[in-house]
């Protein structure tokens, strides 16, 4: 009896398989989801080119496409539950979805003639116009975020945060480079210092002594077998729980209040919802932009005294007002409390415990709204997960990739058996952003139907663990064909995303221009706040007959543009004095 013929690989078909088997039928994931979700799952259709495009061994296209299916299905559930309308068919184009994980690098300001100004690095913080390229001295500081070999032969991912000074000091290195620096020479100096440590010594020094992000580049099996991996192994994609300390009589079941200027409707299902965004890079802003696409009004608050990742604002700041508050100032803390007291959702993307030390942890926020009739949804996002010995640590996309085995397997796939390499593009950030949006939608429906306040936990490692265990890497023949298409590019351990992102974008534009960069996948958005038009990746999901419109109530902008208060008119472009309403 002959074997069945093998089907040619197909990204859309495999995306549907990940959607059905890796999410809907995955016991670890489904136990955290609404139990009726699989009844709506059949409304999603996948289309796209059969071949993968991004030269990474992990199945990123299938991963983000399946997660976008989950997000769209949760929106369909909201349409049924809140608006009483029939769910609609949704199409996910897997090539379009592939662009989602690189969208900040593709956003560009265009003039009236359609000419763009390139990538978003070095932007003016107010206008988001392109600034000068980093000086040679900055190359060294940027390389504080890379993977290096320790004295005992392990790969270790150091991270320079948004200011590399503390990381370099922890390594015993000067804060600045020289005008003669190249990527190779600067990396060699840092490598020489890292080689003086064992992996265990460096991990202790970075995380516990200096409070800087860093991790050993573990294999996937090592991570899963670790005490931390075991502690978080049951988390699924997200965790949701109802707050226990309800006031007498409880916080009633019900949806968010209708507000002026923005209609709440099946077409704009989160219209009128107020979301307070306390996050910087990149997963948190992706969560809140995703909510804004569905109609939510988002107030993002940053500190005037902390650095921010301005380069992503062209893409991730759409649909958000942006205010500045210094939370060591009592008047500014009062302003934040007023924002919380009239918010429906609060998103905390700072390192674990940072906002709690200032009086704005989850319990503090629940206490602030305990006496109001409706509850609140509090989402917190971190790198490592919310259980186990590393839960307190700071982390980033590259840290999660290294921690969960993603980076080590990427290096091995490129023929580097003992060399971990950070994959290009902040995939785990963007995918965690989609998961966060899904979790907030779930919590809002719980609040709407059962009342109360809800805590939501998401983490980069929750996603990365799912990617490794439930989505996986390409079969060897598919990967070899994919890698060979681009001439088998081989990145090294010290190549961070400042090197790999432009290199891979160049390859994609050269070899997959007609597949990936189709005009239908992009749209132009005008922001009155900065008086500029930005071309960027349009929202991925397509609801049949445009039953759900994915758009933004306000345009992108720099930080500190708006006053920290909810305006009476949620359609106002810039929040100025006199436009706020009562808390």
Q: What is the per-residue pLDDT for 295?
A: 98
pLDDT per residue as tens digits for the range 457-488: 999 999 999 999 999 999 999 999 999 999 99
What is the rounded average pLDDT of the residues 265-281? 97
- Report pLDDT for 135: 62
- 258 and 381 share a domain? yes
Residue 245 is predicted with a pLDDT of: 59
Least trusted range by pLDDT, from 114-128, 161-175, 557-571: 114-128
Q: Cα–Cα distance between 493 and 416 in angstroms, integer? A: 9
If you ran DSSP here, which 8-state letter would residue 180 be given? T
480 belongs to a structural domain? no
Same domain as 332, residue 457: yes
* 352 in the same domain as 333: yes
Asked whether residue 198 falls in the same domain as residue 219, the answer is yes
Q: Is residue 95 part of a domain?
A: no
List of residues 6+ apart from 576 with CB closer than 8 A: 562, 563
| CATH value at residue 399 | 3.30.1540.10
Residue 1 has pLDDT above 50, yes or no: no
Residue 581: is its pLDDT beyond 60?
no
pLDDT above 70: percentage of residues in the chain: 93
Residue 489 belongs to a domain: no
User: Cα-atom radius of gyration of the chain, to the nearest Å?
Assistant: 23
| Cβ-contact 109, 130 below 8 angstroms | yes
* DSSP code at position 207: I
C-alpha 556: how far from chain center: 17
Residue 3 has pLDDT above 90, yes or no: no
3-state class (DSSP) for residue 45: strand
- Judgement on whether residues 208 and 323 belong to the same structural domain of the protein: no
Reference 94, options 58, 42, 54; nearest CA is 54
Residue 113 has what pLDDT?
59
CA separation for the pair 255, 258 (Å, rounded): 9
Q: How far apart are CA 566 and CA 276, in angstroms?
A: 10
Task: At 199, list the tokens.
Answer: 């992996």
Query: Range with the lowest mean pLDDT among 134-148, 185-199, 353-367?
Result: 134-148
Three-class SS of residue 262? Answer: strand
In a domain, 447, yes or no: yes
| 236 Ramachandran zone, left/alpha/beta (phi>0; psi -120 to 50) | left
Residues 268 and 372 placed together within one structural domain of the fold: yes
Cα angle 65-67-68, degrees, rounded to a multiple of 5:
65
Q: Would the pTM of this model clear 0.85, i.e. be above it? A: yes
Whole-angstrom distance, CA of residue 20 vs CA of residue 214 = 35
Same domain, yes or no, for 275 and 336? yes
Pairing of strands 532-537, 108-110: antiparallel
- Phi-psi bin for 261: left (phi > 0), alpha (psi -120 to 50), beta? left
In a domain, 337, yes or no: yes
Do residues 377 and 254 both lie within one domain? yes
Using 50, 70 and 90 to split pLDDT, how confident is the model at 288?
very high
- Kindly list the distances between the CA atom of residue 119 and the CA atoms of 306, 312, 430, 500, 507, in Å, as whole numbers in the listed order: 23, 10, 18, 14, 15
Report the domain count for the chain: 2
Q: Is residue 248 part of a domain?
A: yes
Same domain (yes/no): 163, 208: yes
Name the H helices within 195-329.
Answer: 199-204, 220-225, 227-231, 283-293, 313-316
> What pLDDT, on a 0 to 100 scale, did the predictor assign at position 309?
81
**Least confident residue range of 13-17, 109-113, 333-337:** 109-113
Within-domain flag for 280? yes
What b/e sequence results for 461-475 when a residue is b if at least 16 CB atoms lie within 10 Å of its CB, and e otherwise?
bbbbbbbbebbbbbe
Judge if 407 and 434 occupy the same domain.
no
Cα(187)–Cα(494) distance, rounded to whole angstroms?
7
Residues 243 and 261 in one domain: yes
Local structure of 241: helix, strand or coil: strand
Of 199, 202, 175, 200, residue with least CA distance to 189 = 175
138/118 Cα distance (integer angstroms): 20
End position of a domain, from candidates 421, 445, 461: 461
Same domain, 208 and 193: yes
pLDDT of 269: 98
**pLDDT higher than 60, residue 583:** no
Give the domain extent around 191: 136-231+392-411
Provide the mean pLDDT of the chain.
94
CATH of the domain at 377: 3.40.50.10540
- Whether residue 353 lies inside any domain: the answer is yes
Q: 307 pLDDT band (50/70/90 cuts)?
A: confident
Q: How confident is the model at residue 582 (pLDDT cuts 50, 70, 90)?
A: very low
Residue with tokens 């009562």: 582
pLDDT tens readout for residues 59-96: 999 999 999 999 999 999 999 999 999 999 999 999 99
Alpha helices in 265-405 (DSSP H): 283-293, 313-316, 330-341, 362-368, 397-403
């Amino acid at each position: 009896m002959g074997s069945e013929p093998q089907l040619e690989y197909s990204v859309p078909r495999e995306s549907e398989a990940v959607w059905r088997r890796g999410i809907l039928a995955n016991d670890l994931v489904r136990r955290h989801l609404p139990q009726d979700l699989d009844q709506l799952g059949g409304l999603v259709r996948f289309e796209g080119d059969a071949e993968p495009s991004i030269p990474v061994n992990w199945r990123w296209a299938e991963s983000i496409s399946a997660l976008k299916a989950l997000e769209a299905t949760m929106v369909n559930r909201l349409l049924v539950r809140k608006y009483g309308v029939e769910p609609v068919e949704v199409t996910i184009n897997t090539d379009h979805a592939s662009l989602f994980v690189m969208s900040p690098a593709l956003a560009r300001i265009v003039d009236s003639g359609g000419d763009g100004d390139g990538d978003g690095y070095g932007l003016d913080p107010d206008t988001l116009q392109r600034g000068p390229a980093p000086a040679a001295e900055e190359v060294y500081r940027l390389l504080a975020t890379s993977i290096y070999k320790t004295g005992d032969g392990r790969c270790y991912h150091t991270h320079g945060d948004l200011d590399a000074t503390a990381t370099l000091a922890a390594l015993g290195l000067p804060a600045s480079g020289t005008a003669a620096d190249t990527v190779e020479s600067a990396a060699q100096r840092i490598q020489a210092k890292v080689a003086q440590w064992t992996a265990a010594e460096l991990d202790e020094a970075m995380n516990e002594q200096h409070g800087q992000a860093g991790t050993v580049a573990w294999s996937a099996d090592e991570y899963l077998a670790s005490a931390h991996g075991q502690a978080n192994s049951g988390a699924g994609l997200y965790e949701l729980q109802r707050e226990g300390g309800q006031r007498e009589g409880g916080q009633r079941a019900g949806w968010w209040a209708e507000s002026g200027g923005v209609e709440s409707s099946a077409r704009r299902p989160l219209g009128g919802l107020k979301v307070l965004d306390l996050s910087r890079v990149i997963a948190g802003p992706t969560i809140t932009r995703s909510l804004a696409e569905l109609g939510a009004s988002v107030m993002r608050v940053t500190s005037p005294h902390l650095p921010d990742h301005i380069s992503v604002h062209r893409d991730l700041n759409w649909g958000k007002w942006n205010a500045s508050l210094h939370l060591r100032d009592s008047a500014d803390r009062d302003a934040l409390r007023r924002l919380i007291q009239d918010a429906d959702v609060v998103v905390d993307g700072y390192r674990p415990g940072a906002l709690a030390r200032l009086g704005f942890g989850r319990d503090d926020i629940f206490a602030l709204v305990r006496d109001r009739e409706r509850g609140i949804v509090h989402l917190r996002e971190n790198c490592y997960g919310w259980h186990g010995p590393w839960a307190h640590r700071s982390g980033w996309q590259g840290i999660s990739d290294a921690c969960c085995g993603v980076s080590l397997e990427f290096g091995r796939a490129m023929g580097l058996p003992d060399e971990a390499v950070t994959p290009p593009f902040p995939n785990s950030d963007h995918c965690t952003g989609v998961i966060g949006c899904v979790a907030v939608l779930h919590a809002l429906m719980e609040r709407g139907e059962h009342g109360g306040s809800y805590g939501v936990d998401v983490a980069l490692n929750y996603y990365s663990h799912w990617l490794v265990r439930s989505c996986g890497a390409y079969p060897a023949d598919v990967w070899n064909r994919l890698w060979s298409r681009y001439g088998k590019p081989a990145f090294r351990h010290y190549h961070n995303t400042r090197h790999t992102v432009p290199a891979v974008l160049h390859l994609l534009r050269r070899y997959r221009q007609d597949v990936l960069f189709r005009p239908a996948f992009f749209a132009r958005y005008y922001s009155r706040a900065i008086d500029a038009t930005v071309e960027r990746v349009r929202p991925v999901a397509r609801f049949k007959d445009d039953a759900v419109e994915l758009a933004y109530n306000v345009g992108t902008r720099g930080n500190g543009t708006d006053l920290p208060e909810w305006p009476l008119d949620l359609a106002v472009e810039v929040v100025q004095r006199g436009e706020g309403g009562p808390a």
